Amino acid sequence: MCRRVGAPPRIRPPLLLMVLAALQQAPIKAACEEGTLCKTGFPEDVYNAVISRGVHKGQPLLNVRFRSCGGSRKVHFESSAPADFRVSDDGVVYAARSFQLSPEPTEFLLYAKDKETAEQWQVTVKLTLEPENLLKEQRKMEDIVFPRQPNKHSGLLHRQKRDWVIPPINLPENSRGPFPQELVRIRSDRDKSLSLRYSVTGPGADQPPTGIFIINPISGQLSVTKPLDREQIASFHLRAHAVDVNGNQVENPIDIVINVIDMNDNRPEFLHQVWNGTVPEGSKPGTYVMTVTAIDADDPNALNGMLRYRILSQAPSTPSPNMFTINNETGDIITVAAGLDREKVQQYTLIIQATDMEGNPTYGLSNTATAVITVTDVNDNPPEFTAMIFYGEVPENRVDVIVANLTVTDKDQPHTPAWNAMYRMTSGDPTGRFTILTDPNSNDGLVTVVKPIDFETNRMFVLTVAAENQVPLAKGIQHPPQSTATVSITVIDVNESPVFVPVTKLVRQEEGLLAGNVLTSFTAQDPDRYMPETTLRYSKLSDPASWLKIDPINGQITTIGVLDRESPHVKNNMYNATFLASDTGIPPMSGTGTLQIYLLDINDNAPRVDPQEATTCETLQPNATNITAIDDDIDPNAGPFAFELPNTPPSVRKNWTIIRISGDRAQLALKIKFLEAGIYDVPIIITDSGNPPKSSTSILKVKVCQCDINGDCTDADRIVGAGLGTGAIIAILLCIIILLILVLMFVVWMKRRDKERQAKQLLIDPEDDVRDNILKYDEEGGGEEDQDYDLSQLQQPDTLEPDAIKPVGIRRLDERPIHAEPQYPVRSAAPHPGDIGDFINEGLKAADNDPTAPPYDSLLVFDYEGSGSTAGSLSSLNSSSSGGEQDYDYLNDWGPRFKKLADMYGGGDD
């Protein structure tokens, strides 16, 4: 690349391509391509470029050219500031990071090194910040020229380039216009010979969001139509096209990158308005507390999005106004001072500010949030007793009683392991009669009795108690880990129950002891040795068989019944009786003792046979019956038993024989070949093995019957065995049949009688009518002298005179209706007495089906007043005729309610 004489020393990035296109013209190329003028290295000593303030990572800044004479060299480019700039193999300088260009020019060196010969060249690059107004003027003049296609027929050798690099167009966001605002002009060198049409494609042009960028198809002027927002779209990638009027492509499309330059138009925003953190009390400086975070929608790689944090205020400001600090870049809050004490300050409130522009207070935008730091509790305060000695008292023999309440104070946070107290006894209770529980609400120690205490043994306890927290004290605390106190407990003497000695007394006694014999003495003792002497009295509490009595003074037990081992109240030869001993103390107390009498067996029960009934066959085979001897006594007064048949009557030994098969079992069998069916009483003598032996004669009822081949009695034979003969059975069956025939005949007769009664007419003589007597149940009138009404109207309702019917108007519910009424049944003149009930039922049914309201079939006695009245007309109560000479002045004394009546009758003749 050659520089024209008189060319400006600075090459602005938007004009670079236009200058490069101009340098491709033939006269200059001819001069540069002459061999005598070629010099290996950079064609210029200094490369100048004017760029905008905001530089983005990867943004192309300028293109440097390296001249290789005498052949192709493998050259590697390096920058003296590799952290900020890098150079590609084709000489394009890019930004290695995003930064803001300072107002002063930025210079750095570029090195070109031959990889084979290690020969090295260098050139200076100078970047200058472009003024804003000059940038606007130059943009109006900027042209982007399509690169010329190489001449394939030229004999000249050209270095192959990878592609043309079009510097991006930087356009600030939120521009105020006016719109459309012209950016650059795209043109082709062939527009002088051809009529061309220009267009752009890509997002922002013909793709969503469409219409942001437009191009004049004739002049190629590219414009933006509205303000841009970098937070929505940071850059646009367009492609420019040039075609002729026929639509044929004239130039290869070129890529145009439009970067939206960020403006500081967004404040930092905290993720939370209130941040909560904790720090243990007593933490050392440098302890991490929490991290607050804010975000900025602006470019995070530019100053607009670079945030810095700081603490504006701290409340409260004790013990130091600067207890915390914050990392201005990360937002980490740490402690910087010692003295965090939850018992003094439980919570700190910090106001945190985040500012962009790297915290520049003049140009940066700020926002605030609140950080609430809670000082958590650690066990730095042990529990302390409120007194050195505590007192309590407890009645003897009481358990689960709180005898003392131990109170402690702890400055740590309540209801935490650092505050909860645990109590333990270090001395004074070797037998474990006390325990100390902790009240979860008040943290007090409750000294409780868990084992009974005897006043006569211990009158006072002195306990040493220690209190400590559930968790050990924090390291570095100078206080002792526990607090101790003394508990003095006094035992109160109370009246105790008498105690039988022993509580359960065993006595061995033979059964059969008669009433009136002294059995034993059962006494109790009063454990109250230090109380005034009391007197004991004895009584019987439980004696199921009522065999015993106890002397109330000395406790001597005497029998009042015969002791019997075989009694149902004796279990396993043991009889239990309970006695009560009561004292005369205040309050009176009592105790119980149990007397167990072990009854020794004597031979007082004779054995008996079991079962008492048996069945056998008439024939000799099979005819054996097994029997068992039962004795209520026990060995040696029971078995083995001896079985024998008595000598009288002689038929017993003649017909039967008995054989013992074991100590308590024997077998009874027929001795003759055949015995007539029936019931036989067989006496059996059973003798036990007692000393002396005891025997008894038991009657075994044997039923002899006819048996089948299996040895079982048939049904008829069983009935015969029960004592009923065949004639008796037939008689019973005949009686049952006759009874059934009589019942059937009675039912048929009743049915026929009912049909005859229904066929008769219901007639009844007026003299025998009983309806008038039924009406007397509703009578509300006076005596018999007032009942002078005509009952015939009640007997024959149809004989009422027409004039007795009242006109239409107000009617009583029991009056007869005017319109047609249902026909009631008429009885015959001489009815059967049983017909009266049928008549009443049929009349009741007709009355129930009568739709004319109330039951008019039954007139009440008080409804009929007769044909005349002995009282005459009410008009005879004329005051002027009957009471004219009577004095009514007493009506004035009856009060205001009779005042009107007094005025009417007591006012004189008028």
Strands (E), 264-365: 269-270, 274-280, 288-291, 294-295, 308-315, 324-326, 332-335, 347-355
pLDDT of residue 880: 46
pLDDT of residue 309: 96
DSSP string of 208-240, one letter each residue: SSTTSEEE-TTT-EEEE-S---TTT-SEEEEEE
pLDDT of residue 381: 85
User: Rounded to whole angstroms, how far apart are CA atoms 760 and 749?
Assistant: 17
* Joined tokens for residue 312: 């504006």
Phi-psi domain of 359 (left: phi exceeds 0; alpha: psi -120 through 50; beta: other): left
Residue predicted with more confidence, 857 or 30: 857
Tell me phi and psi for residue 11, to 5 degrees: -115, 110
Q: What is the DSSP letter of 71?
A: S
CA Rg, the chain, in Å? 68
261 has which bridge partners?
Answer: 172
Cα 485 to Cα 385, 440, 478, 480, distances in angstroms: 7, 20, 20, 14
The residues near 220 (Cβ < 8 Å, ≥ 6 apart) are 185, 186, 187, 198, 242
CB 859 within 8 A of CB 794: yes
User: Rounded to whole angstroms, how far apart are CA atoms 493 and 529?
Assistant: 10
Report residue 271's pLDDT band, with 50, 70 and 90 as the boundaries. very high
User: Rounded to whole angstroms, how far apart are CA atoms 617 and 721?
Assistant: 11
Report residue 1's pLDDT band, with 50, 70 and 90 as the boundaries. very low
pLDDT of residue 149: 60
pLDDT of residue 713: 79
CB 637 within 8 A of CB 688: yes
DSSP string of 546-594, one letter each residue: --EEE-TTT-EEEESS---TTSTT-BTTEEEEEEEEE--SSS--EEEEE
Cα 421 to Cα 44, 381, 438, 450, distances in angstroms: 88, 11, 7, 21
Report residue 333's pLDDT band, with 50, 70 and 90 as the boundaries. very high
Cα 465 to Cα 384, 419, 472, 485, distances in angstroms: 12, 18, 18, 5
pLDDT at 517 over 60: yes
pLDDT at 30 over 50: no
User: Rounded to whole angstroms, how far apart are CA atoms 494 and 534?
Assistant: 13
pLDDT at 572 over 60: yes
The residues near 273 (Cβ < 8 Å, ≥ 6 apart) are 369, 370
From the list 253, 340, 336, 330, the residue with the least C-alpha distance to 293 is 330
Dihedral sign for Cα 412, 418, 419, 425, please.
negative
User: Rounded to whole angstroms, how far apart are CA atoms 564 and 569?
Assistant: 9
Report residue 770's pLDDT band, with 50, 70 and 90 as the boundaries. very low
Cα 251 to Cα 141, 169, 191, 324, distances in angstroms: 22, 21, 11, 66
Average pLDDT over residues 771-783: 48
Amino acid at 230: R
DSSP string of 835-894, one letter each residue: HHHHHHHHHHHHHHT--SSS-TTS--GGG---S--TT--GGG--HHHHSTTS--GGGGGG
683 has which bridge partners?
Answer: 699
Alpha helix (H) residue ranges in 2-114: 16-23, 26-32
CA 220, 226, 228, 232: dihedral to nearest 10 degrees?
A: -110
Residue predicted with more confidence, 456 or 386: 386
Report residue 26's pLDDT band, with 50, 70 and 90 as the boundaries. very low
Strands (E), 264-407: 269-270, 274-280, 288-291, 294-295, 308-315, 324-326, 332-335, 347-355, 366-376, 384-385, 389-395, 402-406
Give me the count of residues in the chain: 910
Alpha helix (H) residue ranges in 456-540: none
User: How many other CB atoms sit within 10 Å of the CB of residue 822?
Assistant: 12
Of the candidate ranges 307-321, 632-646, 711-725, 792-806, the one whose mean pLDDT is the lowest? 792-806
User: How many other CB atoms sit within 10 Å of the CB of residue 331?
Assistant: 21
From the list 170, 171, 167, 172, the residue with the least C-alpha distance to 144 is 167
Of the candidate ranges 14-28, 91-105, 160-174, the one whose mean pLDDT is the lowest? 14-28
Residue predicted with more confidence, 849 or 302: 302
CB 390 within 8 A of CB 486: yes
pLDDT of residue 194: 84
Buried/exposed code over 890-902 (b: 16+ C-beta within 10 A; e: otherwise): ebeeeeeeeeeeb
From the list 602, 582, 575, the residue with the least C-alpha distance to 505 is 575
CB 456 within 8 A of CB 411: no
User: How many other CB atoms sit within 10 Å of the CB of residue 28?
Assistant: 15
pLDDT of residue 129: 79
pLDDT at 717 over 60: no
pLDDT at 660 over 70: yes
pLDDT of residue 818: 53
Q: What is the DSSP letter of 750?
A: H
Report residue 834's pLDDT band, with 50, 70 and 90 as the boundaries. low
From the list 266, 258, 305, 260, the residue with the least C-alpha distance to 99 is 305
Q: Parallel, antiparallel, or unpaired for β 590-600 and 548-550?
A: unpaired
* Joined tokens for residue 326: 């914050």
Amino acid at 543: D
CA angle 722, 728, 733 (to 5 degrees): 110
Residue predicted with more confidence, 693 or 446: 446
Buried/exposed code over 568-595 (b: 16+ C-beta within 10 A; e: otherwise): eebeeeebebebbbbbebeeebebbbbb
CB 408 within 8 A of CB 385: yes
CA 749, 755, 757, 759: dihedral to nearest 10 degrees?
A: -150
From the list 31, 116, 28, 34, the residue with the least C-alpha distance to 76 is 116
From the list 286, 270, 288, the residue with the least C-alpha distance to 278 is 288
From the list 119, 4, 99, the residue with the least C-alpha distance to 53 is 99
Report residue 482's pLDDT band, with 50, 70 and 90 as the boundaries. confident
First and final C-alpha spacing in the chain: 157
Buried/exposed code over 710-737 (b: 16+ C-beta within 10 A; e: otherwise): eeebeeebebbbeeeeeeeeeeeeeeee
pLDDT at 847 over 60: yes
From the list 401, 567, 581, the residue with the least C-alpha distance to 496 is 581
Residue predicted with more confidence, 268 or 857: 268
Residue predicted with more confidence, 207 or 774: 207
For tokens 């260009």, name the residue.
Answer: 101
pLDDT at 867 over 80: no
Secondary structure percentages of the chain, helix, strand, coil, to 5: 15, 35, 50
Buried/exposed code over 387-413 (b: 16+ C-beta within 10 A; e: otherwise): eeebebebebeeeeeebbebbbebbbb
Of the candidate ranges 96-100, 202-206, 661-665, 806-810, the one whose mean pLDDT is the lowest? 806-810
Tell me what the pLDDT averaged over the chain comes to: 78
Average pLDDT over residues 283-308: 92
What 3-state class would DSSP assign to 159?
coil
pLDDT at 267 over 90: yes
pLDDT of residue 799: 47
* Joined tokens for residue 750: 């009743």
Percentage of the chain lying above the pLDDT 70 cut:
76
Average pLDDT over residues 244-256: 90
CB 594 within 8 A of CB 548: no
pLDDT of residue 885: 59
pLDDT at 560 over 70: yes
Of the candidate ranges 68-82, 148-162, 178-192, 683-697, the one whose mean pLDDT is the lowest? 148-162
